[in-house]
Amino acid sequence: MKYRKVRFLILGLTVIAINFMLIIDAKATTILYTDEATWLSQTSTGFAQSFSITSTTVALADEVLLPPADNTLLGPSLTFQSGNTGLPFDFTFQDESPDPGTQVIFINGTLGSAPTRHHDWSVNFTGGLPVFEIGLDLAGGIDPSVFRVFDTANTQVASITGIPSFLGIISDDPIGRVLFDDTPTSGGMGLDGFKIPTPVPVPKPSTLLLFGFGLIGLAGLGERSYLKRVKKLRS
């Protein structure tokens, strides 16, 4: 009996060790989607809120004082803090063009890079909650360019080539940044906004409590009315 217990113990420890090694060896997966409906169906919630790029939302950046007019150059990068945007994460929009003198530009309701032959830019998730699922609304572009996705260690984990109007990302590891790697003939693409998976709104506990009290009150009124009718019939 004693030896049987020892064998079971050794077997159990072996299974635990194998599972632990499998977890360590498992490689994180990052999947890219260009169809918004398909991406949304694969997210953890199936519901997403939108954050659109407008002159008003651009003015939420630390570097911008007033809502910019169309075709306005805004410097090398913009910093957006969650306390200003209401998003669960902080992010920066960065000009990544190899050409000299380029800046972030607000144009046609998007953020991009100009004036330049290469319109490279990146979105960097810098703080707040880690980002595992994110959708990017895009606009513009003539010829295919490359989108590259990096983890928080700045290691490229996925890429896609094309002219998508939407790029959805679902990753096992937190996403560090998304780089738009432009080609000179692409005509440039701009960031039009985000789609952020969020839980489906549910009633707050206080709302449920009030609803419960309301049901109790209605039940009490019904009982009181019933007792009055019974008393009247008896009399």
DSSP-based three-state secondary structure for 48 = strand
d(CA 51, CA 201): 17
- Could you give the count of Cα atoms lying within 13 Å of 107 in the half-sphere of its Cβ? 16
Determine the distance from the C-alpha atom of residue 165 to the mean position of all C-alpha atoms in its chain, rounded to a whole number: 16
Q: Residues 7, 13: contact at Cβ < 8 Å?
A: no
d(CA 170, CA 35): 13
- Position 13 scores a pLDDT of 46
Return the number of other C-beta atoms located less than 10 Å from residue 142's C-beta. Answer: 12
Alpha helices in the chain (DSSP H): 2-25, 36-42, 55-58, 82-85, 205-234
3-state secondary structure 168-206: EEEECCCEEEEEEECCCCCCCEEEEEEEEECCCCCCCHH
- What is the pLDDT tens value at each position of the chain, 235 positions in all? 555 554 544 544 454 444 444 333 446 799 999 999 999 999 999 999 999 999 999 999 999 999 999 999 999 999 999 999 999 999 999 999 888 888 999 999 999 998 767 789 999 999 999 999 999 999 987 778 899 999 999 999 999 999 999 999 999 999 999 999 887 655 678 999 999 998 755 544 554 455 455 555 545 545 555 445 545 555 5
d(CA 199, CA 43): 10
d(CA 126, CA 152): 9
**Which amino acid, 57?**
T
d(CA 133, CA 167): 11
- Position 98 scores a pLDDT of 83
Which one is the CATH code of 28-197: 3.40.50.300, 3.40.190.10, 3.30.70.1350, 2.60.120.260? Answer: 2.60.120.260
pTM comes to: 0.73
What six digits make up the tokens of 116? 């330049």
Per-residue DSSP letter, 38: H
d(CA 128, CA 91): 9
